[in-house]
Amino acid sequence: MKFSNTLTQAISLLSLGLAVEGSGINIQRDDACHPHRPFRPMPPSHPRVKTCHVENHGNGVDDSKNILQALHQCNNGGKVVFDEGKTYTIGTALDMTFLKNVDIEILGTIQFTNDTNYWQANAFKQIYQNATTFFQLGGEDVNVYGGGTIDGNGQVWYDLYAQNPLILRPILMGIIGLKGGTIGPLKLRYSPQWYHFVANSSDVLFDGLDISGFSTSKNTAKNTDGWDLYRSNNIVIQNSVINNGDDCVSFKPNSTEILVQNLHCNGSHGISVGSLGQYLGEVDIVKNVLVYNISMFNASDGARIKVWPGVSSAMSIDLQGGGGLGSVSNITYDTMYIENVDYAIEVTQCYGQSNLTLCNEYPSNMTISDIHFNNFHGTTSKKYEPLVGSIVCSSPNVCSDIYATNIDVESPEGTNEFACTNVDKSTLAIDCV
């Protein structure tokens, strides 16, 4: 069975989920979170009493000043509208962390310029993995919706990255320091790197995102994660379609109380905890995460937990690490359909380290405990058959209480074996080899 890539049809096939209407006016946001509610109630929005329409120049002229003017004018109780049928160009890095009690209704198209020299020099530098963002959106009680399009003009970046993997590619949506808000419905296209970086934020609902953007050249659109969460809590991601080339959702350091549900992921690296333990001396914690009702197609992984070993390792020329401290605990993956996925479940404490002997000699400093994989079904790809999954810890001292129940997954040839190392097999209702 192949699902359609359109948001409406895919969500219909998921047969779950109530979309947020997106008015931002007196919405009790946790009422829209079904079938599971967030770890704590979302704060309601305050009334919006004024409206500002953003004027655009057209013909690719930078509209950044007009955008800031409208945001300042309608901040503290208003709605800023990007009109239907218009294309707005952003050629300036925008700091929008001053927002409070404001809606942003995107009916038209917002596109970032392809001036790679400008953006490498001026995009906002975040503090994790050399991440940069086109803009910073933050503040309190901010809703962004409308069903319009935000376009990162990513093709020039895909081609440039193929020449130089050390360039700084901006992230399309920088949600930085947002306390209370909703994002979606929106269409997100052609991000140069991750689609969302959510940092130092809390009580935010993402609902009805339609994410897509593949390269039209021989150069792949790489590292196009759907969401990367960092130092954030009580985040809900739901009712969305993601067609990308890396993690569908990734829980980076200090992501807590996260609910992810009703997603259609295609072409990704799965729903991932990590990577964690990358930076020596830092403490990474991911806990209290529920991932529910995911459809995963043509991916490297379904459910994935990835932490760095206790020794320096190199994943790639632009991604190295290992030796960090911390823990992963109370993580549940419940109900996942997979099709043409390499591993239905993968747990690794040797991320970035190809020398398993060295990894076992220097086991990860990250502990993994209280992990639950429930109700998986579908078919893997041929890549690792007869294996359909891998639960491999670098030491039995750093992995405990990992459970797997009702895992009805087979390889194309009908096998259902898992690689299991340094883990208590008595809690795993799977065929460990």
Residues 248, 191: Cα–Cα separation, whole Å: 14
* 100 three-class SS: strand
Is the distance from CB of 91 to CB of 130 less than 8 angstroms? no
pLDDT of residue 35: 81
Count of domains forming the chain: 1
| C-beta atoms surrounding 75 within 10 Å | 19
DSSP state, residue 226: S
* Torsion sign (Cα): 305, 306, 309, 310: negative
* 2 within some domain: no
pLDDT of residue 30: 52
* 1 within some domain: no
pLDDT tens track, the chain, 433 positions? 233 344 444 443 343 333 333 333 333 445 555 689 999 999 999 999 999 999 999 999 999 999 999 999 999 999 999 999 999 999 999 999 999 999 999 999 999 999 999 999 999 999 899 999 999 999 999 999 999 999 999 999 999 999 999 999 999 999 999 999 999 999 999 999 999 999 999 999 999 999 999 999 999 999 999 999 999 999 999 999 999 999 999 999 999 999 999 999 999 999 999 999 999 989 999 999 999 999 999 999 999 999 988 888 888 888 888 899 999 999 999 999 999 999 999 999 989 888 788 888 888 999 999 999 999 999 999 999 999 999 999 889 999 999 999 999 999 999 999 999 999 999 999 999 9
Is the distance from CB of 219 to CB of 197 less than 8 angstroms? no
Residues 251, 291: Cα–Cα separation, whole Å: 11
What pTM was estimated for this model as a whole?
0.92
pLDDT of residue 32: 55
Angle at 7 between CA 169 and CA 233, to 5 degrees: 60
* 217 within some domain: yes
* 188 within some domain: yes
* 352 within some domain: yes
Is the distance from CB of 422 to CB of 393 less than 8 angstroms? yes
| C-beta atoms surrounding 292 within 10 Å | 20
Residues tagged active-site: 269
pLDDT of residue 352: 84
| C-beta atoms surrounding 80 within 10 Å | 25
Residues 64, 112: Cα–Cα separation, whole Å: 10
Residues 42, 202: Cα–Cα separation, whole Å: 9
Quick one: which of 16, 21, 6 has its CA closest to 182?
Answer: 21
β-pairing, 135-145 with 94-106? parallel
Question: Structural domain of residue 264, as residue ranges?
Answer: 7-432
Q: Is the peptide bond before 386 cis (omega within 30 degrees of 0)?
A: yes
Range list of β-strands (E), 146-217: 149-151, 170-171, 173-183, 186-189, 196-199, 202-207, 209-212
In this structure, what token pair is assigned to residue 354? 């190809």
Q: What contacts 37, CB < 8 A, 6 or more positions away?
A: 30, 259
End-to-end, the C-alpha distance of the chain in Å comes to: 30
* 26 within some domain: yes
The burial class, CB within 10 Å (0-12 / 13-18 / 19+), for 163 is exposed
In this structure, what token pair is assigned to residue 95? 């700091």
* Torsion sign (Cα): 255, 346, 405, 371: negative
Residue 239, sorted as left (phi over 0), alpha (psi -120 to 50) or beta, turns out to be left
* 275 within some domain: yes
pLDDT of residue 33: 55
Residues 226, 147: Cα–Cα separation, whole Å: 17
CATH of the domain at 206: 2.160.20.10
Quick one: which of 86, 103, 3 has its CA closest to 45?
Answer: 103
pLDDT of residue 317: 81
* 199 within some domain: yes
Quick one: which of 7, 424, 36 has its CA closest to 209?
Answer: 7
